[in-house]
Amino acid sequence: MRRAAPLPERAFVFSFPHGMGIHVALIEPEIPPNTGNVGRLCAATGTALHLIEPFGFSLDDHDLKRAGVDCWDAVELWIHPGWRHFREAIARERCLYFSAHGTRPYWDAPYRRNSVLVFGNESGGLPERIREKYPDRVYRIPMTDTVRSLNLATAVGIALYEAIRQLRTLEQGLLHVR
């Protein structure tokens, strides 16, 4: 077995400015490890996490805590008792929706400071009523026809890091606002 070379003493370290204010929202998440992984991702990037009830698990669930490792204290966590409560708390124009049924690619989303990246749950995805009401704000992560959808935590990671990339590029003056 070959061993990887040790990292140089000054390995690349990235800092996420808190001023980006990106948020992730999960509508009625069902699988504790997915939500735990999204929580860990949010902790790693300084991203606020909104969980919209009902959940398919308890917030005390062992698998949820295990997947989030020791990061839950670092997550700005918002719990909304339902979709209506979330909509009352978050301005509609901040929301970008992600669905396998979207027609535009996720890299075309107009990511801005304080954008809220909204995802449906594992079994139903983004609810049809939301896709129909906001068709111009629904984005898709391209994939082959052999796969129905991506894992929720994977999809959140793809969209979140694209938002961070675009916002950093905007701040550096390298990307023109659409």
Whether pLDDT at 172 is above 80 = no
Rounded to the nearest 10°, the torsion over CA 151, 66, 81, 92 is -40
Question: What residues contact 70, with CB distance under 8 A and at least 6 apart?
Answer: none
pLDDT tens digits, 85-111: 999 999 999 999 999 999 999 999 999
pLDDT tens digits, 116-151: 999 999 999 999 999 999 999 999 999 888 877 789
The confidence score (pLDDT) of residue 174 equals 57
**Using an 8 Å Cβ cutoff, are 139 and 98 in contact?**
yes
Query: Which tops the pLDDT comparison, 93 or 20?
Result: 93
Lowest model confidence (mean pLDDT) among 56-60, 68-72, 161-165:
68-72
* Average pLDDT of span 65-70: 65
* Average pLDDT of span 44-65: 85
The confidence score (pLDDT) of residue 39 equals 93
Helix (H/G/I), strand (E/B), else coil: 137: helix
Helix (H/G/I), strand (E/B), else coil: 51: strand
User: What's the alpha-carbon Rg for the chain, to the nearest Å?
Assistant: 17
88 backbone dihedrals φ, ψ, rounded to 5°:
-70, -25
Peptide bond into 54 cis (omega under 30): yes
Report CA torsion sign: 123, 151, 142, 39: positive
pLDDT tens digits, 29-48: 999 889 999 999 999 999 99
Task: Tell me the average pLDDT of the chain.
Answer: 85
- Give how far Cα 49 sits from Cα of 93, 108, 115, 149, 170, Å: 18, 22, 12, 22, 23
Whether pLDDT at 13 is above 60 = no
The confidence score (pLDDT) of residue 96 equals 98
Lowest model confidence (mean pLDDT) among 10-14, 19-23, 48-52, 79-83:
10-14
